[in-house]
Chains A and B, each alone.
Chain A
Amino acid sequence: MIDTLNIGLAALILGLGVWIIAARDAYAAVVGFIAYGLLLTLVWVQLHGIDVALTEAAIGGGLTGALLIGAVGRLRSTEGAARAERPGVTTRWLAAVVSAAVTGALAICVLVLPVPSPTLAPEVAANIAVTEVGNPITAVLLAFRAMDTLLEAIVLLFALIGVWSLAPDRAWGGRPGLLQQADPNGMLAYVARVLPPIGIVVGAYIFWVGADHPGGKFQGATILAAMWLLVMMAGLGDAPPVSRAWLRWLLVAGPLAFIGIGMVGAVHAGAFLAYPEGFAKPLILVIEFALMPTLTLILGLMLLGAPRRGET
């Protein structure tokens, strides 16, 4: 039997999907996208993926939404010109036919999926004891498929390098984002003083609890990055110039520690990223602690974008 909640969620998500695509105003579409991300979070809870739900809420809806809101404000003047470029009726019809065909093919695939479904859950459950962590997702991310997580951290770093290299020549090595001016006695400055201590505790808790329960470094790092961004938006702090050596070292520290521990595994346990017996949990903790500041900085700096000001 289908839950009414699930049907309602699916209908709302589809409705918001149509809104994101069809809304006339780009700002309205982005606001729709943020609501869409939050509803998807509920769907992940319904699909028993609490860790995925936390990631979707923090990164899929939250950070991506904030990034797009920032961009939509700067690109407001270009919307009128873009409307004039709307493709003709033929193109629109062809696009509709192609999209409907893709949807139809995928829907058929969903309906003919094999029963019982192939699954790796029993193997994870059988081997999780070796890793000494209680959360199966963390066990997959940092032990069974640690290579994926290492490459992901490196992808984030490369993306940040890509964003930075889009800086104009005069701002190269400077500070990303705009200098924020907020009323020092205003509401924003007040919230930016009161909220970060609470947010830092919540972020650190979600990071720490990730070993045994839903949570983990990505979700925790996003909350810490959000607190950092709040302080910068209220004008209480400024982004560091991207040419600072300490910043660059912190950004590579996480992946370097990860690779270093992988090499230890290659020498002592017979394979790259294998953990010597009995050392799995401590080594996983070392990797997580090393990745945490790197991820916080990368997520926050990625949102600020390319350097736009000099070093002063």
Chain B
Amino acid sequence: MTAGTLFGLCAAALIGLGLFGLIVNPHPLRKILAFNVVGSGVFLLFGAIAYRGAGAGLGGDPVPQALLITGIVVAFSATALAVALLLRLFDETGSVTLSNDAPAKAGKDADAH
């Protein structure tokens, strides 16, 4: 087993782990964290594949590696937007629940629908 296969399998486990946390953890911030674990697992899988593509004197395939850099930066901007949405929700309602049974403070909005 090479380093590529080892970290490929590690990435597969991380994606599953993150997916589990995304479904099970009720707190939105924990969901954002779990989503980042899924994201890093996907990046690691892609990186393991890039490592297998080493050749022509390069340690890995530079095209997927460059796409990974783009991916990490875009993942950060998506996380920043998600956190901003969450903080605004907290400022407006004083709670961050995603539950269908709307909490007392959000009841006024729910009546309008």
One digit per residue, 1 when the CB lies within 8 angstroms of any chain A CB and 0 when it does not, for chain B 63-90 equals: 1011111101111111111011111101
Asked whether, in the complex, the Cβ of B47 is within 8 Å of the Cβ of A52, the reply is yes
User: Please, how many angstroms separate the alpha-carbon atoms of A82 and B31 in the complex?
Assistant: 12
Asked whether, in the complex, the Cβ of A144 is within 8 Å of the Cβ of B10, the reply is no
- Total interface residues on A, using CB and 8 Å? 97
Asked whether, in the complex, the Cβ of B47 is within 8 Å of the Cβ of A21, the reply is no
Asked whether, in the complex, the Cβ of B33 is within 8 Å of the Cβ of A29, the reply is yes
* Interface hit among A197-205, A260-268, A298-306: A298-306
Asked whether, in the complex, the Cβ of A55 is within 8 Å of the Cβ of B9, the reply is no
Asked whether, in the complex, the Cβ of A99 is within 8 Å of the Cβ of B16, the reply is yes
Asked whether, in the complex, the Cβ of A168 is within 8 Å of the Cβ of B91, the reply is yes
Contacts of A63 in B (CB 8 A): 76
One digit per residue, 1 when the CB lies within 8 angstroms of any chain B CB and 0 when it does not, for chain A 17-54 equals: 11011100010011001001100100110111101100
Which residues 1-53 in B have Cβ within 8 Å of A in the complex? 1-21, 23-27, 29-30, 32-34, 36-37, 40, 44-45, 47-53
Asked whether, in the complex, the Cβ of A59 is within 8 Å of the Cβ of B24, the reply is no
A61 to chain B, nearest CB (A): 10
Contacts of B34 in A (CB 8 A): 20-21
Known pairs A2-B1, A99-B17, A162-B84; A55 contacts B72 (CB<8 A): yes
In this complex, what residue of A is CB-closest to B52? A117
User: Please, how many angstroms separate the alpha-carbon atoms of A22 and B33 in the complex?
Assistant: 11
B53 to chain A, nearest CB (A): 3
User: Please, how many angstroms separate the alpha-carbon atoms of A52 and B91 in the complex?
Assistant: 36
User: Please, how many angstroms separate the alpha-carbon atoms of A106 and B57 in the complex?
Assistant: 29
Asked whether, in the complex, the Cβ of B83 is within 8 Å of the Cβ of A137, the reply is no
Asked whether, in the complex, the Cβ of A10 is within 8 Å of the Cβ of B87, the reply is no
* Interface hit among A83-91, A180-188, A228-236: A83-91
Contacts of B2 in A (CB 8 A): 2
One digit per residue, 1 when the CB lies within 8 angstroms of any chain B CB and 0 when it does not, for chain A 292-312 equals: 000000010011011000000
* Interface hit among A68-76, A243-251, A269-277: A68-76
Asked whether, in the complex, the Cβ of A305 is within 8 Å of the Cβ of B76, the reply is no
Contacts of A144 in B (CB 8 A): 63
Asked whether, in the complex, the Cβ of A40 is within 8 Å of the Cβ of B23, the reply is no
Contacts of A87 in B (CB 8 A): 23-24, 26
User: Please, how many angstroms separate the alpha-carbon atoms of A121 and B64 in the complex?
Assistant: 10
User: Please, how many angstroms separate the alpha-carbon atoms of A48 and B54 in the complex?
Assistant: 9
Contacts of A303 in B (CB 8 A): 80
B61 to chain A, nearest CB (A): 5
Asked whether, in the complex, the Cβ of A110 is within 8 Å of the Cβ of B12, the reply is yes
Tell me which of B18, B53, B73, B90 contacts A117 (CB under 8 A). Answer: B53
A141 to chain B, nearest CB (A): 5
Asked whether, in the complex, the Cβ of B37 is within 8 Å of the Cβ of A49, the reply is no
In this complex, what residue of A is CB-closest to B48? A47
Tell me which of A48, A86, A113 contacts B59 (CB under 8 A). Answer: A48
> What are the 3 A-B residue pairs with the smallest beta carbon separation, nearest first?
A48-B59, A103-B16, A119-B53
Q: Chain A interface (Cβ within 8 Å of chain B)?
A: 2-3, 6-7, 10, 13-14, 17-18, 20-22, 26, 29-30, 33, 36-37, 40, 43-44, 46-49, 51-52, 55-56, 59-60, 63-64, 67-68, 71-72, 74-75, 78-79, 81-83, 85-87, 91-92, 95-96, 98-100, 102-104, 106-107, 109-111, 113, 117-122, 124-126, 136-137, 139-141, 144-145, 148-149, 152, 155-156, 159-160, 162-163, 166, 168, 216, 218, 299, 302-303, 305-306
7 contacts between A and B (CB under 8 A): A52-B72, A55-B72, A60-B72, A98-B19, A120-B63, A137-B66, A141-B69
